[in-house]
Amino acid sequence: MWGPGRGLLGAALAAVSTNAYVTRAEPIKDPASATDKQKIADLVARAKKVLADGKIVAQTAPRQAHVRVDPGEETRARAILDRYYTISAEAVAANVTTTASNKESKPQPSKKKKPRTPPSSIFEDFDTTAISGPCCKRYVICGGGTAAWAAIESMLEIDPSVAKDILLITDEEHYPYNRTVLSKELWDDDKKELFRSEQASKDAVEYAYKAQPQGKVSIIRGKRVSFLDVDEKRLTLSDSSSLHYDKLLLATGGSPKSPGYISAALASPDLAENVSVFRTLEDYKRLQQGLKKKDLGAVVIGGGFLGTELAIALASTSQKVSLVVAEAGVLYKVLPRYVCEYLARRLSEVGVNVIRSAIVTGASKKPGTADVVTLDIVSPDADHVEGNKIIVAVGIDPDVSLAMDADLEVDDRLGGIRVNDFMMVEPDVFAAGDVASFHDRGLGRRRVEHWDHAVVSGRIAGKNMMGQKARYGLQSMFWSDLTNIGVSFTAVGLVDSTLETLAVWNLSSAPVNGAPSANSYTSGVVYFVKNFEIVGAVLWNPKKGSGSLRRARALISAKTSVSGLSQNTLAGLVNLEESSHRTTIRTNTK
């Protein structure tokens, strides 16, 4: 947990974990500062809330405690305790008494991080008012997200002096940053310090570079490219200035979808304060500030990765959270139905009120309140839900407006700008990241909205803009961390719930009448199958260092057939750890 170098606050919180968090749940004396004091008080309050019905049985050793928790509260208590303590397997099985030993006592590897160059030393602001006559940079990148940053990194790796020839244009005020932490780590009191935006490290929100480039990359922030003329090789910006390029990368990502009732709510002065989408660092800051002011509950709409992660993250801050999903469970578009239902149950256990098969029909201010919004819904579970923060996470539309203006080819079926496996739209125009519909030589045409794909495709585009001939070959991966319910998975290839699946699960206890009991999928692999061949895989709580991701990639590349394979062989293909309780589950197309 708290490793070396986390500072005074880290030390103070660790002390709470050991002495008070579980055994007495009282603040330690003399916290380091007023902020620390507040944080410690919050932490202890949370622990008390979770363990309200629990009773300390005994403290058997300085770093070990026996905690008696009401059976109904066991999962919630475990989720929080698990962040600080190693919980023994026997105790979990007994389901009443939990033996916890402090994780901090484990030896911590001392990782020395190489200093990185912060974005303020990589980029310099470019003044568009100073443009006169034909301008401008050899390499222009439109969009300032992960794909754009990956392209810049790969270009600097080829030639550190290329920095002065690159111009990045982004409509956000920030330097390129990592969105994935906005729904996970930034809600975790223990981790968010690591992701402060002013840090220059691998863990910072804003990307930092591993070396000092020669010269600086130009950046225009807070302005949108409003028009693209590919014949003239010219871009027009929202302030009407225009720029020329030699090579252009379109890395415009996507904009959150906004169904009709949401657009109406966002446009209504009465509701706009309470209803929001969630995509940017500013969205995160607004939501966090808004929740701090009033704790009247949050409603997340959308059971995809973002909605699910966000609901769990908000529940961990003691918010009352409802998750409204259109399907029968969460992550329904990617996982087999029984896993979606299992996850929905686990979410309920950590305090998320999951409203399934729900269609939202309208949003209005609750009469007689200043700050509460009522969502009308049609669902077997409820006819309305209330909260003072409504967060809409129902997917994105790839941002193809520039490509459409310029008559570049847009994919009718998948959305996105069509590129080949060089990420090339036409000789001097490239596209990468969420916005690209690309040719995957193994799996056919795809559009992928994941971080690793943004990195892989951005790097390929960057290299090819500089004259290399790099092709999209590696299967990009994606992951989701639902750590508060003890689930973390990594996936690769075609992960689509409409496909057939074949899964091997390790269970925490023996199946009852052939079916796994609740809360028992400890680890496993779900293969996604087309014509008997493995086209995708989800690795559920994969063991670190098992090489399972590498193996899964190889299985997809080799078009491995699953027919006739035994349970043990299927498990062994991705090095699934041994277990005495195992089951195989097959599903047909959804």
Contact stretch for ligand FAD (CB under 6 A) within 260-268, 382-390, 477-485, 566-574:
477-485
Question: Least distance from C-beta 479 to ligand FAD, angstroms?
Answer: 5
Residue 195 contacts residue 186 (beta carbons within 8 Å): yes
When asked if residue 480 is in the footprint of ligand FAD (CB under 6 A), the reply is: yes
Binding residues for ligand FAD restricted to 123-162, rule: CB under 6 A:
142-148
Indicate which single residue of 251, 456, 492, 571 sits in contact with ligand FAD (rule: CB under 6 A).
251
478 binds ligand FAD (CB under 6 A): yes
Site string for ligand FAD, 189-228 (x = CB under 6 A): -----------------------------------xx---
Stretch that binds ligand FAD, among 169-177, 199-207, 259-267, 335-343 (CB under 6 A): 169-177
Scanning 163-171, 312-320, 482-490, 500-508 for contacts with ligand FAD by CB under 6 A, the matching segment is 163-171
- How many residues bind ligand FAD (CB under 6 A)? The answer is 36
**Distance between CA atoms of residues 310 and 77, nearest Å:** 20
Burial class (CB in 10 A: 0-12, 13-18, 19+), 416: buried
Stretch that binds ligand FAD, among 26-34, 68-76, 204-212, 252-260 (CB under 6 A): 252-260
314, with CB counted inside 10 A (0-12, 13-18, 19+), is buried
235 with 140: CB under 8 angstroms? yes
Give min distance, CB of 174 to ligand FAD, in A. Answer: 8
Binding of ligand FAD by 276 (CB under 6 A) = no
As a whole number of angstroms, the distance between CA 261 and CA 271 comes to 11
- Residue 471 amino acid letter: R
Binds ligand FAD (CB under 6 A): choice among 17, 452, 528, 534: 452
Does residue 407 come out as left (phi exceeding 0), alpha (psi in the -120 to 50 range) or beta?
Answer: left
Cα–Cα dist 573/400, whole Å:
40
Residue 183 binds ligand FAD (CB under 6 A): yes
**Sole binder of ligand FAD in the list 18, 154, 180, 501 (CB under 6 A):** 180
The residue among 315 and 377 lying less far from ligand FAD, judged by its C-beta, is 315
Q: Is 166 among the residues that bind ligand FAD (CB under 6 A)?
A: no
Q: Does 277 contact ligand FAD by CB under 6 A?
A: no
Extract the tokens encoding 71: 């059976």
Which one among 433, 493, 524, 536 touches ligand FAD, defined by CB under 6 A?
A: 433
What does the H/E/C string look like for 278-345?
CCCHHHHHHHHHHHHHCCCCEEEECCCHHHHHHHHHHHCCCCCEEEECCCCCCCCCCCCHHHHHHHHH
Q: Which of 2, 207, 451, 528 binds ligand FAD (CB under 6 A)?
A: 451
Amino acid at 530: K
Question: Between 180 and 583, whose beta carbon lies closer to ligand FAD?
Answer: 180
Whole-angstrom distance, CA of residue 234 vs CA of residue 135: 9
| Cα distance between residue 460 and residue 424, in whole Å | 10
Q: What is the DSSP letter of 117?
A: B
Among 36, 153, 206, 399, binds ligand FAD (CB under 6 A): 399
- The smaller minimum CB distance to ligand FAD, of residues 241 and 567, is found at 241
Q: Is 479 among the residues that bind ligand FAD (CB under 6 A)?
A: yes
Q: Give the count of beta carbons closer than 10 Å to the beta carbon of residue 510.
A: 12
Does 542 help bind ligand FAD (rule: CB under 6 A)? no
Q: Is 185 in the site for ligand FAD (CB under 6 A)?
A: no
Q: C-beta of 404: minimal distance to ligand FAD in Å?
A: 12
**Contact range with ligand FAD by CB under 6 A, out of 15-23, 246-254, 311-319, 503-511:** 246-254
| 435 or 576: CB nearest ligand FAD | 435
User: The dihedral of CA 365, 183, 538, 556: what is its sign?
Assistant: positive
Among residues 18 and 475, whose Cβ is nearest to ligand FAD?
475
- Among residues 171, 332, 317, the alpha carbon closest in space to that of 253 is found at 171
- In the complex, what is the shortest distance from the CB of residue 317 to ligand FAD, in angstroms, rounded to a whole number? 16
Is residue 429 involved in binding ligand FAD (CB under 6 A)? no
Residue type, 500: E
Binding-site member from 128, 154, 170, 583 for ligand FAD (CB under 6 A) = 170
To the nearest whole angstrom, how small is the minimum distance from the Cβ of residue 223 to ligand FAD?
A: 7
Q: Rank residues 480 and 548 by Cβ distance to ligand FAD and give the closer one.
A: 480
Find the angle CA(370)-CA(372)-CA(272) to the nearest 5 degrees: 80
Closest C-alpha to 547, from 501, 506, 480, 492: 492
Q: Which of 275, 306, 313, 502 binds ligand FAD (CB under 6 A)?
A: 306
Where do runs of H (alpha helix) occur along 186-302? 260-267, 281-293
Please say whether the beta carbons of 418 and 430 come within 8 A. Answer: no
The answer to the question of residue 402 lying near ligand FAD (CB under 6 A) is: yes
Tell me the window of 10-18, 91-99, 248-256, 578-586 that interacts with ligand FAD (CB under 6 A): 248-256
Point out which span in 15-23, 120-128, 172-180, 345-353 binds ligand FAD (CB under 6 A): 172-180
Question: C-beta of 309: minimal distance to ligand FAD in Å?
Answer: 7
Query: Rounded to whole angstroms, how far apart are CA atoms 285 and 292?
Result: 11
Strands 136-142 and 166-170 come out as parallel
Identify each DSSP E strand in 444-567 by its residue range.
444-447, 477-482, 487-493, 500-507, 521-530, 533-540
Residue ranges in contact with ligand FAD by CB under 6 A: 142-148, 169-172, 179-180, 182-183, 224-225, 251-254, 279, 306, 399, 402, 433-435, 449-452, 454, 478-480
